[in-house]
Structure formats: C-alpha cells, structure tokens
C-alpha cells in the first residue's frame, strides 16, 4: 500500500503534485532507458573482459615459454647483461570516456617510436627477439584488461545505483503521488458535495422564515 504524502489539501498542492508526477514519469522513462543501455554495455564489457583475460593468460604462457628457452640458451647472467641495456619506459595515454553518464577510464599503450631493439642484435639469436615480441603483446593485453576491469566495476556500481532509483520510482514515488492525487481529488469532491448540501439546507431555512 503506497504511503500518502503529507500535504495541505489545497488546489495549489494538487497542481504541484500533478507536476511532480509528470516529472517523475518522464524521469522514470529516461532512467529505464539508461539502465537498459548500461546493462547492454556491462554485458559487452563482461564478454570482452573474459576474452581479454584468456588472451592475457595465453600471451603470458607463450612469453614465459619463449623466455625459458632463451634463458636455457644463454644462461641468466648473459641474458641479464643484454637486457639491462634494453630497459625503457612505457608510455600509456590515459583518459576517460563516458557511457550514458558513467565515466570509465580509457587507456592506450603508445606505440614505441624505436624500431631497433637496444640489445646487441649480432650476439643474440632470434629467440630473444621472439621473446621480446611476446612480452610486448603481454603488456598490451595487460593494459586492455586493466581498462576493461575498471570499466566493469564502475558500470556494475552504476547499474546498482540506477536500479535502486528505478525501483524507488516504480514502487514508491509514483504510486504515492498517484495515491495522494487521488485522495486530494476525492477530498475536493467531498467538499463540493458538502458545500452543495449546506447551500440547500440554508436555502430551506431561508424559505421557512
């Protein structure tokens, strides 16, 4: 049973309530649409997250396999000596984008401007090149997964919040407004009837005199 809103039983209040009801109904439509968009995006991101995670695990498995071969071929010390010189910073362009009002992060790994790797290409074999290439793929997959997981969390939170608003509108605000408007209408009709019967009574009394 929806709760009646405590208002003064006046025509002005009735007009205000009607306005509030139409606003609430419009907002309900918008919020419902927003919820359906967010849900669609959430499912899409969830699917992509699963794919990205599988991709990441596969890339790491491949990369570690290649690295273990390289390590076996050169030995730890020799390999480390080559790799120390090839260390470089990675550049990630970070920003944000919005999905139906929900801000989610957006990351993109900047492509390296250096074409040549910094380690000695003469003394090393193609195994090392392959290993380096595979680890670059891992890096890209990690950045993608970070973006997707963060988006997934934020979208989930927003869906929960929006769902609460939709439920509040559907089960609380709109029914209570409808009920209060109905109550006020009935009250005004009752007042009219009272007024009519009072006037009739007065008329009878005047006629008796």
Partner 1 sequence: MNKELPYDRILQECLRGELRVVNAHLPCKQKLLSDLLREEFPHLVCNDGSTHLFKKKELKYLAGLLDSKEQEELPLPLLIEVNPGQDQMAILCRSRSEEKVISRVLNMIVKPRQNKIILHSPHLALLRKHLKTTTQYLFSPDIL
Binding site for partner 1 (CB under 8 A): 5-8, 13, 23-24, 26-27, 29-34, 37, 40-41, 44, 48, 93-101, 103, 106, 108, 165, 168-169, 172-173, 176
| Distant-in-sequence, close-in-space partners of 88: CB < 8 Å, separation ≥ 6 | 112, 114, 118
Question: Using CA atoms, how far apart are residues 165 and 61, in angstroms rounded to an integer?
Answer: 45
Cβ nearer to partner 1, comparing 7 with 83: 7
Cβ nearer to partner 1, comparing 62 with 140: 140
* CA angle, residues 16, 21, 26, in degrees to nearest 5: 130
CB of 207 to partner 1, least distance (A): 40
Question: Using CA atoms, how far apart are residues 125 and 156, in angstroms rounded to an integer?
Answer: 47
| Distant-in-sequence, close-in-space partners of 55: CB < 8 Å, separation ≥ 6 | 141, 144
CB 88 within 8 A of CB 159: no
Short-list 186, 188, 38, CA closest to 99: 38
Cβ nearer to partner 1, comparing 9 with 75: 9
CB of 37 to partner 1, least distance (A): 6
Question: Which segments within the chain are labelled E, that is strand?
Answer: 92-99, 102-109
- Residues, the chain, total? 209
CB of 23 to partner 1, least distance (A): 8
CB of 73 to partner 1, least distance (A): 35
CB of 186 to partner 1, least distance (A): 18
CB of 58 to partner 1, least distance (A): 21
Cβ nearer to partner 1, comparing 22 with 86: 22
Cβ nearer to partner 1, comparing 64 with 188: 188
Cβ nearer to partner 1, comparing 2 with 156: 2
Question: Using CA atoms, how far apart are residues 170 and 177, in angstroms rounded to an integer?
Answer: 11
Which secondary structure element, helix H or strand E, spans residue 143, and what is its range?
A: helix 126-168
């Amino acid at each position: 049973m929806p709760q009646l809103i405590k208002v003064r039983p006046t025509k002005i209040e009735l007009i205000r309530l009607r306005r509030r009801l139409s606003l609430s109904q419009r907002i309900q439509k918008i919020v419902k649409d927003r919820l359906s968009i967010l849900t669609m995006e959430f499912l899409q991101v969830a699917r992509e997250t699963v794919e990205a995670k599988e991709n990441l695990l596969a890339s790491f498995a491949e990369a570690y396999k290649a690295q273990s071969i390289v390590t076996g071929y050169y030995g730890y010390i020799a390999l480390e000596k080559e790799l120390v010189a090839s260390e470089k910073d990675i550049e990630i362009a970070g920003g944000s984008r919005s999905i139906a009002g929900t801000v989610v992060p957006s990351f993109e790994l900047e492509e390296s401007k250096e074409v040549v790797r910094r380690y000695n290409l003469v003394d090393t074999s193609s195994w090392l090149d392959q290993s380096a290439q595979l680890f670059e793929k891992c890096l890209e997959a990690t950045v993608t997964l970070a973006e997707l997981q963060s988006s997934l969390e934020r979208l989930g939170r927003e869906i929960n919040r929006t769902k609460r608003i939709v439920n509040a509108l559907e089960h609380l605000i709109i029914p209570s407004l409808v009920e209060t408007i109905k109550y006020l209408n009935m009250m005004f009709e009752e007042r009219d009837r009272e007024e009519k019967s009072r006037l009739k009574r007065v008329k009878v009394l005047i006629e008796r005199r």
